Every structure is written in structure tokens, then in C-alpha cells.
Structure 1
Amino acid sequence: MPAMIIHIVLIGWLYVTVLVAATETSLIAGILTFILYGGIPCCLILYFATSKTRRRYRAHRERLAEQQERRPEA
């Protein structure tokens, strides 16, 4: 799934959870609703959705480090 679609879906989900949290009877209940229904799921989705990109970036950094080690000093 393209990154832009994931971001749009997450923004929509956060909007819905803000509205649900705003209808709670107390401030604490609203905050907990937002964190448990909005914050944590969105963080997990972003973490798993970007794992491939993080893996590629780590491999790229390792390749650059190997090239730096192989390069003769002038």
C-alpha cells in the first residue's frame, strides 16, 4: 500500500478518535479514549508499515560503511 494512502487513512482515523474522545464525559476518559483507540493503533500501523523502509536504510548505511572501510586512505 503506498505511503500516501496510509497517511490519509491514519489522519482520518485520528479525526474520528478525536471526535469520539470529545464526546466522553470527563477529560481523563477523553484522553484515554484518544490514546487507546487512536494513538497506539496509529503508532503500530506506522511502525509496521515503515519496517521495510527502515530495513533498506539500515542495509544502505552498512554498505556505505563497508565502502568507507575498503577505501584506501590518501
Structure 2
Amino acid sequence: MYLVVIGWLYVVLMMSVAEASNTTGTVLGAIVTFFLYGLMPVTLVVYLMRTPQRRKARKAQEAEEDRARLAEKSEPSAPAPSDEPDAGGHAAGAAKADGIAPVREEPR
């Protein structure tokens, strides 16, 4: 596949050189020719041709992550410290000195 890409870019480069060296041609025309006939189509074709490879690599990476996650779950480990301030089932205000939880006023 890459041999065809290199060959096409060579042909387009020669078309651009011919355009730039022609008496009625311009360097701007050569640059436009190179981009519109060469780089843009080749980039699109290579991207589309590599789609199955990218999909296969992504699925392999996801499978590896799943295996790592399952291995992590199956190994017994010490419980991680909680970042939550209160993991208990008691009301937050019940720990005050007077033992009365604050009451929220209803909006008017």
C-alpha cells in the first residue's frame, strides 16, 4: 500500500514541478496542485485503509484493560481509604455537642 502512496506522491510532485517551470504556470499553482492532487487524497486513502488496523488495536487495548481490571478485582487487597467525609448512616448534625441536628427552614 505504501509503495502506491509513494508512487502517487512522486507523480504529483512531478506534475507540480512541471506546473511551476512552465511559462504560463505559477508556483502557487504548483503548490495547489500538490495539495489538491497529492497530499489530501493520499491522506484520506491512507486513513481509510488503516481503519481495520486501528479498530483491531483499539479492541486489543480494551481487552487488555478488561483483563487488568478483572485481575485487580480478584486479588484481595487492603481497603482503600475513603475520600468521603462521612460514610456512616448517621445524620451529619448528630455529632454536635448538644445532640440536636440543625433544622433547615422551608423556602417561602
- TM normalised by structure 2 equals 0.61
Q: Which has the higher helix share?
A: 1
Tell me the secondary structure at the aligned position of residue 34 of structure 1: helix
Matches within 5 A, 1:7-26: 7-24=2-19, 25-26=25-26
Structure 1: stretches of 5+ with no match in the other structure: 1-5
Encode CA deviations 1:2-28: one digit per residue, 9 max, x unaligned. Answer: xxxx11111110000000011112111
- Structure 1 residues 12-65: Cα deviation after superposition (integer angstroms, max 9, x where no partner): 100000000111121111111000000011111101110000000000000011
Structure 1: which 4+ aligned runs deviate by more than 2 Å?
none
| Equivalent-residue separation in structure 2 for 1:45 and 1:68 (angstroms) | 35
Query: 1: CA distance between counterparts of 2:18 and 2:64?
Result: 52
- Larger relative contact order, structure 1 or 2 (CA cutoff 8 Å, min sep 6): 1
1:49 aligns with 2:49: yes
Q: Structure 2: where are the runs of 5+ without partners?
A: 20-24, 78-108
TM-score by length of structure 1 reads 0.87
How many aligned residue pairs are there? 69
RMSD, matched Cα = 1.1
Q: Hey, what does 1:30 align to over in structure 2?
A: 30
Task: Name 2:58's counterpart in structure 1.
Answer: 58
Higher-Rg member (1/2): 2
